[in-house]
Structure formats: structure tokens, C-alpha cells
């Protein structure tokens, strides 16, 4: 069973907003470092961003999939397609994070990595919007 914070629209939205705002701020710092040609610092920032995505956003996604999403489908089977789409969003986030990690293993911090982090933000924003549409139908 999922915790009460995941089941309430306001608290769930606050969790998303805080994590996403942090990702946006860190991504903006990465952009400035790359523009300033501070490659070493940019690489360090990229690893900080990966940690942020994994520990804040993807861990939250895991919790949703393990509890909340299963509960929603059990209680409202008509929302199954929405839950499949939300889970796909999580998988896209995971794929992008892993691609970034592979690129960084080759010590290739560049604009492409920045674009991938920006893509993560866009996917997560769209995902959060859809999730907030589904969650009120599930709230008790």
C-alpha cells in the first residue's frame, strides 16, 4: 500500500514540484558551466544531476509503481491505460539517465548531455501533469 503523501493530490504535487525544481536549477547550472567552458566542473555537475534524478525522481517513480499505480488499477481498472502510459514515462526517464551515465563514462560532457537532461525535465513535466489528472480520480 502506498503512503498517504502519494495518495493526496496536494502533497503528491508538492513532491513532484520540489524534485523537478531542483532538477531545473541544477540543469541551468550545468548549462552555464558548459557555456563558460568549465568542462571539469560541468562533468561534476552532471554527476550531481544524475544522483538527483536517481535519488529523488526515479526513487519516487519506483514507489509509485510498487504501490500507488497498482492500487489505482485495482480500484479503477478503466485507468489501466493511463497507468501504462505513466509507467512508460518512468521508463523513458530511466533510459535517458542510463544513456547520460554511459556518455559520461567516456568523459564526454557536452551539449548533447545537456539536451538529454533538458529532455528529462520535459518528460517529467508532462508526466506530472498527466499524473495529477489521474490521481484525483483515485483519491479517497
Over residues 87-101, the pLDDT tens digits come to: 999 999 999 999 999
Q: Is 80 exceeded by the pLDDT of residue 10?
A: no
Domain boundaries, given as residue ranges, for the chain: 4-134
Cell of 15: 513532491
pLDDT digits (tens, 9 = 90+) for 109-140: 999 999 999 999 999 999 999 998 888 655 54
pLDDT value for 140: 46
Distant-in-sequence contacts of 64-67, Cβ < 8 A, 24+ apart: 64/2, 64/6, 64/90, 64/131, 65/90, 66/2, 67/1, 67/2, 67/3, 67/6
The predicted structure's pLDDT at residue 6: 59
Write out pLDDT tens, residues 32-72. Answer: 999 999 999 999 999 999 999 999 999 999 999 999 999 99
Amino acid at each position: 500500500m502506498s503512503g498517504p503523501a502519494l495518495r493526496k493530490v496536494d502533497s503528491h504535487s508538492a513532491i513532484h514540484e520540489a524534485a523537478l525544481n531542483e532538477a531545473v536549477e541544477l540543469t541551468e547550472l550545468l548549462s552555464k558551466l558548459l557555456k563558460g567552458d568549465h568542462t571539469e566542473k560541468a562533468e561534476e555537475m552532471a554527476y550531481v544531476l544524475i544522483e538527483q534524478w536517481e535519488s529523488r525522481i526515479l526513487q519516487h517513480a519506483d514507489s509509485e509503481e510498487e504501490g500507488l499505480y497498482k492500487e489505482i488499477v485495482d480500484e479503477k481498472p478503466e485507468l489501466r491505460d493511463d497507468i501504462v502510459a505513466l509507467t512508460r514515462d518512468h521508463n523513458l526517464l530511466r533510459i535517458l539517465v542510463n544513456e547520460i551515465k554511459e556518455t559520461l563514462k567516456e568523459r564526454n560532457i557536452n551539449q548533447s548531455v545537456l539536451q538529454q537532461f533538458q529532455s528529462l525535465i520535459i518528460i517529467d513535466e508532462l508526466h506530472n501533469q498527466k499524473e495529477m489528472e489521474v490521481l484525483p480520480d483515485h483519491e479517497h
